[in-house]
Amino acid sequence: MARALAEARAASERGEVPVGAVVTDRAGRIVAADGNRVEEWRDPTAHAEILVLRTAAAALGSPRLVDHDLWVTLEPCPMCAQAIAFARIRRLHFGAADPKGGGVENGPRIFGQPTCHHRPEVVAGIRETEAAALLRRFFQARR
Active site residues: 49
Count CA within 13 A, CB hemisphere, residue 5: 13
Composition of the chain by helix, strand, coil, percent to 5: 40, 20, 40
d(CA 65, CA 25): 9
